[in-house]
Amino acid sequence: MRVLTETQRFDQWWFRLLMAIVIGITIMPVALSYDELKDDSTALLIVSLACGISLLLVVLLLFYFKLETRIDEAGIHYSFWPFHLTMRNVHWHEMTACYVRKYNPIAEYGGWGYRIRLGKGGRALNVKGNIGIQLELTNGKKIMIGTQKEAEVRSVLRQYEQKLAKP
């Protein structure tokens, strides 16, 4: 049986630019208040450490966000770190439909990342692009998992489509 794995990260150029802007905005107040704080070394140390640690945590967390997807004979498994520390499993018999489709991340889910849309929209886990694997579950819920491997996913899903639950 065929297995497909995919790992995606927020590595777009505009994301890196946004991080540089955040770093600049965070460091600027400390740099501008240096003259006021230089006489009080304790205050300067506290402000610098608080700013540096906060900035480091935010930047590291954002750069380590990742969406992992695995499709195999058991079903579709996904994990969006740091929201999921282990893989979530959706078995074939839990799905009534599973297909690749083009979607509008902003209009349908409000953007990229881990998104929850109330009503019939369901959940979306996406990092970039506008192609995803739409899962329609037997309980009526929907999950959209973004992919950058459209052709490969279509091929693998065709191989397993007979395993889907019959509506």
- What is residue 99's three-state secondary structure? strand
Mean pLDDT, rounded, of the chain:
86
Give pTM, 2 decimals. Answer: 0.75
pLDDT tens digits for range 17-43? 877 887 788 778 777 777 777 777 787
**Angle formed by the axes of helices 41-64 and 13-32, nearest 10°:** 170
Query: Can you tell me the mean pLDDT for 51-70?
Result: 82
Please tell me the CATH code under which domain 66-163 is placed.
2.30.29
- The residues with which 9 forms a beta bridge, in sequence order, are 66
Query: Can you tell me the mean pLDDT for 121-141?
Result: 91
pLDDT of residue 18: 77
pLDDT of residue 57: 78
Nearest to 103 by CA among 83, 82, 122: 122
Nearest to 57 by CA among 23, 25, 108: 23
pLDDT of residue 123: 92
